[in-house]
């Protein structure tokens, strides 16, 4: 019974002892930590850099973990990056592993309040435009001191940095954006920044950048040797991000729509020349479509003094569209000239046919002396109704020739006119002798039955000069220029595309 009482007391007191002992250990560790901090900062001066008293250079190791590259702004030539910036250096004044009283305490001391107590490097970004320290849900800041005096200073920041871009091959371009780091006030003899030997700049595996392929490797190097100012030489670190632009967005938004607009503009070649409003409207609409697209993308690009690849494409599309409109103007002008010429020929043929029907004597003279025969016939329209009919028809044809505002006068070898007495006459007008037309030889129209019989015979024969056979009329709406343009314009545009894409996607990429 006595043994059982001892066991019961043991089981009750043992947990209490363990809890008390662990609590005492925690209190003891906390007190030791506070004592270490109090001892280290007793005579610490935050404005004095490590090694300054013994004239040693403070070496700060820098390494960066990129969280995201949120945007690349081509118009303002800048990019925005989220990252964890870490700096590490050795400060012997904060080491406690050599103090006999604290050497058994091997844990790191972490506290954000150290930011106001210890010396910190004056790191800054030379090409930085704007930056901020993240403060959600608290200030994203870490200061960790190890027993040997090594300090780790980590911050989560967002930086907007300048990036000098070369846009001659836009949008098939590749940009190299730098991150330049240096000391703002300490010279190279005082503070030196160095990259960490292993993975100085790391990227997330699933990094996505709008419009660009994520960089496979970041080139980090020391640029101190090439950087100096009027106030001295300063430490310099540089990290280069190689960003290759994705062409898919620009293909979908610019190139393919422009190609489709070009195809629509070629429909002009299948529209009749007589449909002037339709062809002009279609040409202007396609031209305005290309210009509107070029204005749209130009607003998102910087105003550089050189020509970009997309500008060359747009200029070519505008040129091809303008060529379609110019082709219509030329084809329409030539068609009008051809129509006028054909109409003039038809009127002349009509006059000759009427003359042949009017008098067999005229036909005989034409056959014997040719088109240059100086002959004319006059008669009274009252002698016979049939003669009057022929006279009226010939007079109408002659009047049409003389009074047409769009036609040239008939050729000098033949002129048809009306006399004052209402009779019709024809005379040969040679060069320089047009004023002698009235002096030609006139033949009185025979009004007897034999002449009328000759008229009927001539009318049935519908005699024409043997060297001017009738030809099949070609529709006025058809144009040889349109026929050729249906193949020339697409072929030229296809050839231009071959040279354009071959140059920018193959030749430029291999330079």
Read off the pLDDT of residues 218-237 as tens digits, 9 standing for 90 and up.
999 999 887 778 888 999 99
CA dist 482 and 269 (Å) reads: 5
Burial class of 437 by CB neighbour count within 10 A (0 to 12, 13 to 18, 19+)? middle
Q: Measured between alpha carbons, how far is residue 33 from residues 19, 349, 483 in Å?
A: 21, 122, 94
The model's pTM is 0.69
pLDDT at 351: 75
pLDDT at 181 over 50: yes
pLDDT, one tens digit per residue, over 285-338 is 999 999 999 998 998 899 999 999 999 999 999 999 999 999 999 998 888 887
pLDDT at 509: 81
CA dist 236 and 466 (Å) reads: 98
pLDDT at 393: 53
More confident residue, 88 or 457: 88
pLDDT at 477: 54
CATH fold of the domain at 247-511: Methane Monooxygenase Hydroxylase; Chain G, domain 1 (1.20.58)
Spell out the domain ranges in the chain: 58-246, 247-511
Per-residue pLDDT band at 137 (split at 50, 70, 90):
confident
Q: What is the DSSP letter of 468?
A: -
Beta strands in 207-317 (DSSP E): 212-213, 218-222, 228-229, 232-233, 236-245
**Are 238 and 176 in contact, with CB atoms under 8 Å apart?**
no
More confident residue, 390 or 287: 287
In the chain, how long is the greatest CA-to-CA distance? 177
For the domain 58-246, what is the CATH code?
2.70.170.10
Burial class of 52 by CB neighbour count within 10 A (0 to 12, 13 to 18, 19+)? middle
CA dist 329 and 323 (Å) reads: 10
pLDDT at 46 over 80: yes
Q: Measured between alpha carbons, how far is residue 51 from residues 57, 90, 377 in Å?
A: 7, 9, 129
More confident residue, 148 or 394: 148
Per-residue pLDDT band at 361 (split at 50, 70, 90):
low
Rounded to 5°, angle at Cα 493 from 488 and 497: 150
pLDDT, one tens digit per residue, over 54-91 is 889 999 999 999 999 999 999 999 999 999 999 999 99
Q: Measured between alpha carbons, how far is residue 376 from residues 153, 361, 417, 463 in Å?
A: 117, 10, 10, 17
Winning range, highest mean pLDDT, from 91-100, 117-126, 367-376, 460-469? 117-126
CA dist 235 and 191 (Å) reads: 7
pLDDT, one tens digit per residue, over 479-509 is 789 999 999 999 999 999 999 999 999 998 8
pLDDT at 348: 76
pLDDT at 362: 53
pLDDT, one tens digit per residue, over 252-284 is 999 999 999 999 999 999 998 888 899 999 999
Please compute the mean of the pLDDT values over residues 204-231 and round it to a whole number.
Answer: 89
pLDDT at 230: 82
Give the CB-side neighbour count of residue 249, counting CA atoms within 13 A: 10
Beta carbons within 8 Å of 154's beta carbon, 6+ residues apart: 84, 85, 86, 87, 141, 142, 143, 144
Q: Measured in Å, how far apart are the chain's first and last C-alpha atoms?
A: 98
């Amino acid at each position: 019974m006595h043994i059982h009482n001892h066991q019961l007391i043991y089981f009750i007191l043992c947990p209490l002892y363990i809890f008390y002992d662990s609590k005492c250990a925690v209190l003891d560790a906390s007190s030791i930590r506070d004592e270490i901090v109090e001892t280290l900062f007793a005579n610490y001066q935050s404005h004095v850099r490590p090694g300054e008293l013994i004239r040693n250079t403070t070496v700060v190791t820098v390494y960066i973990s990129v969280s995201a590259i949120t945007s690349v702004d081509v118009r303002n030539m800048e990019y925005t990056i989220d990252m964890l910036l870490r700096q590490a250096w050795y400060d012997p004044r904060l080491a406690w592993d050599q103090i006999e009283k604290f050497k058994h305490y091997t844990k790191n001391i972490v506290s954000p309040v150290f930011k106001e107590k210890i010396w910190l490097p004056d790191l800054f970004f030379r090409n930085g435009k704007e930056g901020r320290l993240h403060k959600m849900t608290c200030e994203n800041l870490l200061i960790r001191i190890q027993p040997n005096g090594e300090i780790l200073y980590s911050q989560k920041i967002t930086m907007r940095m300048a990036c000098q871009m070369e846009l001659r091959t836009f949008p098939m371009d590749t940009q190299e954006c730098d991150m330049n780091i240096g000391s703002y006030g300490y010279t190279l003899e005082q503070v030196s920044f160095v990259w960490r030997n292993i993975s100085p700049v790391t990227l997330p595996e699933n990094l996505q950048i709008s419009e660009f392929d994520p960089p496979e490797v970041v080139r980090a190097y020391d640029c101190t040797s090439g950087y100096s100012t009027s106030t001295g030489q300063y430490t310099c670190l540089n990290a280069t991000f190689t960003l290759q632009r994705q062409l898919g967005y620009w293909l979908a938004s610019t190139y393919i729509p422009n190609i489709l607009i070009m195809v629509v503009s070629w429909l002009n070649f299948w529209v009749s020349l007589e449909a002037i409003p339709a062809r002009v409207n279609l040409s202007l609409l396609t031209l305005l479509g290309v210009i509107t697209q070029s204005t749209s993308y130009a607003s998102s690009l910087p105003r550089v003094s050189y020509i970009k690849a997309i500008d060359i494409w747009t200029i070519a599309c505008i040129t091809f569209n303008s060529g379609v409109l110019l082709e219509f103007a030329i084809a329409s002008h030539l068609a009008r000239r051809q129509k006028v010429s054909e109409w003039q020929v038809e009127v002349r043929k009509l006059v000759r046919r009427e003359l042949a029907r009017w008098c067999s004597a005229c036909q005989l003279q034409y056959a014997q002396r040719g088109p240059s025969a100086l002959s004319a016939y006059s008669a009274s329209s009252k002698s016979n109704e049939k003669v009057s009919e022929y006279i009226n028809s010939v007079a109408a044809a002659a009047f049409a020739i003389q009074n047409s505002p769009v036609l040239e006068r008939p050729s000098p070898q033949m002129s048809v006119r009306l006399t004052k007495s209402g009779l019709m006459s024809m005379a040969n007008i040679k060069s320089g002798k047009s004023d002698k037309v009235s002096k030609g030889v006139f033949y009185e129209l025979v009004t007897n039955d034999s002449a009328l019989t000759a008229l009927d015979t001539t009318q049935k024969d519908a005699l024409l000069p043997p060297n001017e056979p009738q030809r099949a009329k070609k529709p006025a709406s058809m144009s040889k220029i349109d026929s050729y343009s249906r193949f020339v314009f697409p072929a030229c545009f296809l050839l231009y595309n071959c040279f354009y894409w071959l140059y920018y996607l193959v030749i430029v990429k291999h330079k």
